[in-house]
């Protein structure tokens, strides 16, 4: 790890804090204006500022300082966060995100960004109390001063910091002196003692290992969080103890007991912890010398300090206990003394996870090859070993895929801001409801869902939710509701965007489609087909063009993006009631359980979670003109892969029907051969094959042959649309005959 990687960690944490800040601000917009929410916003801004200061990102520090002042006044109850102030704070959050992004790109802010920041600071100044100063902001914690605490610790702004840096700090690219300099920028370091107890013999010395510790007295009006933030990137591997000004005796007792050194005498421990001064120690030692000179019983040093009331009795006891503990610790095994609680969470670069998934994909392919070879050797022991290895490979695959799964809730929460700002722009009252935020799906899919969901939510606000006057005329509440829902269903994830607006006017959509030449005037379309026309490029029924919609751009992109994820979109609508748009997606795009089939000497993979059953097509009675079968009383349309992809027909092959389902739709796929289940590594198709419908990707079999992965939603829609067209044609012929 070097300084660049540490800086990237700061950027990652800053992004998370900015999301947390925005989420808390939006909760306040919903009415949660409690002190905990304000503190959450303050802590996010405060942490970003402190970390930015360590890396010299002064533009971020300067801007955030004013935001902190306003939030600090709100924490103290000196001002109330109104809707106007909330809007300014949200804009400040956006500007702070822009500054962080500029720092990521190592570029200076342009004139527009600088002007925007100055305008926001000017807006904030209206809420900054005139008496606010830097010392007001960096105020020390309010603690009770014990009467028996040593005099030198009574300074109202004197902090005591005990540091034992991790031995690998230098290797990780951090400079301990830069941290100390940063502390000095928060006030004034009045005392610093370097601890060299762990310094090795010269022959064992390693220049990349940090052996030093520090005892620091810091005079500062900064608060605890400000000081703690100086150690943000080293706290995990270091031991850091911070005692605020005017702390009670227990804080010093805890410090004495936690000191790692075991060779200090009682007086040295007390001096090191700033409980007594050198002069006070010398005075106590002089007392012992005088007692010896007068041939009096020599009192213990601790007793002298207690008698002179230079230090609290509890501190002496703690220090003595520490000395006994240090002596006892020498007899303990080294691993017992160094035991530390384990950290439950670690931060991993997403690219590393992608590399891991790709390697496991190669492992799956090679596992299939080994399995195929072992089956040809007819060795029971080898077959058993390969089968066991296959089970472990599957477990490794599942565990790795779980690492990539993330909750969709964070994505949903981002739309609260979109709904708030857009509703104000449109002059509407709109609420956003979220259900199923804990539902998980592949991280790569979450990123690709942002744009489609953005289009759909904005269209729901612009076209769906009516103006207040219209809603009142329809006896609805003034506030429209948009719901984002997520759930798992049959191995897929289902996302619903629901609004209680005016619904789709299917007659208007039909007329617009005819006018644009999208459909023929005599075309007979089902309700679902009419709804799906809104995804046709250039088709828009908006009466006016706005900043959000009306140009017919966007919905066709939504459909393409969803289909690129091997998903499908369905629409249910009722005029005057509302609309529900349902998106169905596979859980992952990397490795899936598939079913190996073949048609016309071409290998295909059917996703396992879409298969209902496999049956022999010859057992059904039907004519060649028909493209459906009666499956236990249900008419199921089907397609032949040979016909669809113009493949060479195989002679003397009994056709097999694979019945698949996606959502509520069912269809059959006719193939020549069924080979069975297998794990499949999904590989994207090249650009030249992007326009090929019905194919969602490719995979490499254990034999080295390439298999095409079928896009089940597209194939089902194709089968159903063809069946619907044939039924309409048949109905038209019957009418002509009459």
pLDDT for 476: 92
Q: What angle do CA 488, 500, 458 make, to 5 degrees?
A: 80
Average of per-residue pLDDT across 163-190: 82
Residues contacting 88, CB < 8 A, separation 6+: 120, 123, 124, 127
156 has pLDDT over 70: no
More confident residue, 239 or 685: 239
CA 558 to CA 737: how far, in whole Å? 43
More confident residue, 86 or 681: 86
Q: Which two tokens stand for residue 84?
A: 């106007």
CA 367 to CA 371: how far, in whole Å? 6
The 3-state DSSP class for residue 522 equals: coil
pLDDT for 431: 92
Residues contacting 67, CB < 8 A, separation 6+: 45, 89, 92, 96, 124
Average of per-residue pLDDT across 469-497: 90
More confident residue, 277 or 693: 693
pLDDT for 483: 95
The per-residue DSSP string of 678-712 comes to: EEEE-BPPPGGGTT-TTEEEEEE-TTS-EEEEE-H
Q: Which residue, 78, 122, 93, 106, is CA-closest to 23?
A: 93
Average of per-residue pLDDT across 15-25: 89
pLDDT for 45: 87
pLDDT for 10: 79
More confident residue, 224 or 471: 471
Question: 337-351, 440-454, 498-512 — which one is most confidently predicted on average?
Answer: 498-512
pLDDT for 496: 94
145 has pLDDT over 50: no
SS (H, E, C) 141-164: CCCCCCCCCCHHHHCCCEEEEEEE
Average of per-residue pLDDT across 218-224: 83
Q: Which tens digit of pLDDT belongs to each residue from 179-210?
A: 888 888 888 888 787 877 778 877 788 888 88
pLDDT for 152: 39
CA 570 to CA 535: how far, in whole Å? 11
Q: How confident is the model at residue 605 (pLDDT cuts 50, 70, 90)?
A: very high
pLDDT for 626: 67
142 has pLDDT over 50: no
73 has pLDDT over 70: yes
pLDDT for 54: 65
674, 653 Cβ separation under 8 angstroms:
no
255 has pLDDT over 90: no
Residues contacting 667, CB < 8 A, separation 6+: 636, 637, 638, 639, 659, 660, 715, 716, 719, 720
Q: How confident is the model at residue 625 (pLDDT cuts 50, 70, 90)?
A: low
pLDDT for 89: 92
pLDDT for 154: 39
498, 435 Cβ separation under 8 angstroms:
no
Helix (H) or strand (E) holding 662: strand 656-662
Q: How confident is the model at residue 698 (pLDDT cuts 50, 70, 90)?
A: confident
CA 245 to CA 142: how far, in whole Å? 9
Q: Which tens digit of pLDDT belongs to each residue from 308-333?
A: 555 555 555 565 555 555 545 444 44
Q: Sheet holding 239-243: strands in order across?
A: 187-195, 213-220, 158-164, 239-243
Q: Which tens digit of pLDDT belongs to each residue from 374-402?
A: 888 888 888 889 888 888 888 888 888 78
Residue 729 backbone dihedrals phi, psi, to 5 degrees: -65, -40
pLDDT for 90: 92
CA 569 to CA 534: how far, in whole Å? 12
**N- to C-terminal Cα distance for the chain?**
83
Average pLDDT in the chain: 78
Q: Which two tokens stand for residue 526?
A: 């089902």
The 3-state DSSP class for residue 360 equals: helix
Q: How confident is the model at residue 261 (pLDDT cuts 50, 70, 90)?
A: low
More confident residue, 2 or 408: 408
396, 364 Cβ separation under 8 angstroms:
no
647 has pLDDT over 90: no
585, 663 Cβ separation under 8 angstroms:
no
100, 60 Cβ separation under 8 angstroms:
yes
- pTM of the predicted model, to two decimals? 0.61
CA 78 to CA 139: how far, in whole Å? 15
Residues contacting 552, CB < 8 A, separation 6+: 537, 538, 539, 540
Q: How confident is the model at residue 564 (pLDDT cuts 50, 70, 90)?
A: confident
Residues contacting 692, CB < 8 A, separation 6+: 685
Beta strand pairing status for 480-489 and 568-574? unpaired
CA 576 to CA 499: how far, in whole Å? 11
The 3-state DSSP class for residue 190 equals: strand
Q: Which tens digit of pLDDT belongs to each residue from 527-555?
A: 888 888 888 876 766 555 555 554 444 68
- Residue 689 Cα distances to 19, 250, 696, angstroms: 39, 71, 10
Q: Which tens digit of pLDDT belongs to each residue from 575-592?
A: 989 999 999 888 776 778
Average of per-residue pLDDT across 662-666: 82
Q: How confident is the model at residue 484 (pLDDT cuts 50, 70, 90)?
A: very high
Counting residues of the chain whose pLDDT is more than 90, the rounded percentage is: 14
More confident residue, 105 or 256: 105
Q: Which two tokens stand for residue 212?
A: 């030093």
Q: Within 405-467, where are the H helices?
A: 409-426, 443-459
Helix (H) or strand (E) holding 434: strand 430-435
497, 457 Cβ separation under 8 angstroms:
yes
Average of per-residue pLDDT across 687-713: 81
Q: What angle do CA 457, 463, 464 make, to 5 degrees?
A: 70
596 has pLDDT over 90: yes
* Least confidently predicted of 232-246, 384-398, 600-614: 232-246
């Amino acid at each position: 790890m070097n300084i660049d990687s540490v800086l990237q960690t700061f950027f990652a944490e800053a992004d998370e804090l900015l999301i947390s800040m925005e989420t808390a601000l939006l909760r306040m917009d919903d009415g949660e204006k409690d002190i905990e929410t304000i503190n959450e916003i303050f802590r996010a801004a405060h942490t970003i500022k402190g970390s930015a200061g360590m890396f010299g990102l002064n533009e971020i520090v300067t801007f955030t300082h004013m935001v902190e002042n306003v939030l600090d006044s709100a924490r103290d109850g000196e001002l109330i966060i109104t809707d106007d102030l909330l809007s300014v704070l949200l804009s400040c959050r956006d500007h702070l995100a822009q500054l962080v992004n500029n720092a990521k790109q190592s570029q200076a802010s342009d004139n527009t960004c600088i002007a925007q920041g100055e305008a926001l600071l000017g807006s904030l100044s209206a809420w900054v109390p005139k008496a606010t100063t830097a010392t007001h902001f960096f105020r020390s914690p309010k603690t009770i001063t014990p009467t028996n605490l040593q005099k030198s610790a009574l300074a109202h702004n004197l902090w005591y910091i005990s540091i034992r840096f991790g031995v690998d700090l230098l290797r990780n690219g951090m400079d301990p002196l830069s941290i100390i300099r940063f502390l000095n920028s928060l006030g004034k370091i009045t005392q610093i003692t370097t601890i060299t107890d762990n310094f090795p013999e010269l022959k064992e010395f390693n220049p990349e290992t940090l052996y030093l510790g520090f005892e620091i007295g810091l005079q500062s009006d900064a608060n605890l969080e400000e000081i703690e933030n100086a150690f943000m990137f080293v706290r995990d591997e270091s031991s850091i103890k911070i005692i605020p000004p005017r702390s009670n005796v227990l804080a010093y007792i805890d410090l004495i007991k936690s000191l790692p050194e075991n060779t200090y005498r009682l007086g040295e421990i007390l001096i090191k912890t700033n409980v007594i001064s050198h002069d006070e120690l010398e005075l106590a030692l002089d007392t012992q010398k005088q007692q010896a000179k007068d041939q009096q019983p020599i009192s213990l040093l601790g007793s002298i300090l207690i008698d002179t009331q230079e230090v609290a009795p509890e501190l002496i006891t703690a220090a003595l206990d520490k000395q006994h503990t240090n002596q006892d610790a020498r007899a303990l095994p080294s691993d017992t003394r160094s035991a530390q609680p384990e950290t439950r969470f670690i931060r991993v670069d997403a690219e590393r996870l992608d590399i891991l998934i790709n390697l496991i994909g190669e492992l799956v392919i090679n596992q299939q090859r080994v399995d195929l070879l072992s089956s040809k050797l007819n060795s029971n022991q080898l077959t058993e070993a390969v089968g066991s290895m296959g089970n472990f490979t599957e477990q490794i695959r599942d565990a790795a895929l779980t690492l990539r799964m993330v909750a969709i809730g964070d994505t949903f929460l981002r739309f609260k801001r979109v709904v708030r700002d857009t509703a104000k722009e449109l002059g509407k009252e709109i609420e956003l409801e979220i259900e199923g935020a804990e539902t998980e799906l592949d991280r790569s899919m979450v990123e690709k869902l942002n744009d489609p969901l953005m289009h759909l939510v904005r269209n729901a606000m612009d076209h769906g939710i009516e103006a207040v006057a219209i809603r009142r005329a329809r006896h609805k509440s003034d506030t429209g509701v948009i719901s984002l829902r997520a759930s798992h269903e049959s191995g897929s994830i289902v996302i619903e965007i629901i609004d209680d607006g005016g619904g789709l006017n299917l007659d208007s959509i039909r007329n617009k489609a005819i006018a644009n030449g999208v459909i023929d005037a005599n075309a007979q379309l089902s309700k679902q087909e009419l709804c799906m026309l809104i995804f046709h490029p250039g088709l828009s029924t908006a009466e006016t063009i706005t900043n959000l919609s009306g140009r017919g751009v966007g919905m066709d992109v939504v459909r393409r993006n969803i289909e690129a994820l091997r998903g499908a979109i369905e629409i249910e609508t009722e005029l005057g009631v509302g609309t529900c748009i349902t998106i169905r997606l596979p859980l992952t795009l990397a490795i899936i359980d598939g079913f190996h089939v073949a048609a016309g000497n071409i290998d295909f993979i059917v996703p396992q979670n879409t298969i209902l059953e496999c049956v022999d097509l010859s057992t059904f009675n039907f004519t060649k003109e028909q493209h459906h079968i009666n499956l236990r009383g249900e008419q199921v349309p089907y397609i032949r892969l040979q016909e669809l992809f113009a493949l060479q027909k195989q002679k003397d092959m009994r056709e097999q029907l694979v019945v698949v389902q996606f959502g509520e739709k069912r269809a059959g796929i006719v193939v020549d051969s069924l080979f069975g289940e297998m794990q499949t590594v999904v590989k994207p198709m090249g650009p030249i094959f992007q326009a090929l419908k019905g194919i969602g990707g490719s995979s490499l079999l254990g034999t080295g042959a390439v298999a095409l992965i079928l896009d089940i939603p597209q194939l089902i829609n194709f089968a159903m649309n063809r069946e619907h067209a044939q039924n309409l044609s048949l109905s038209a012929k019957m009418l002509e005959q009459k």
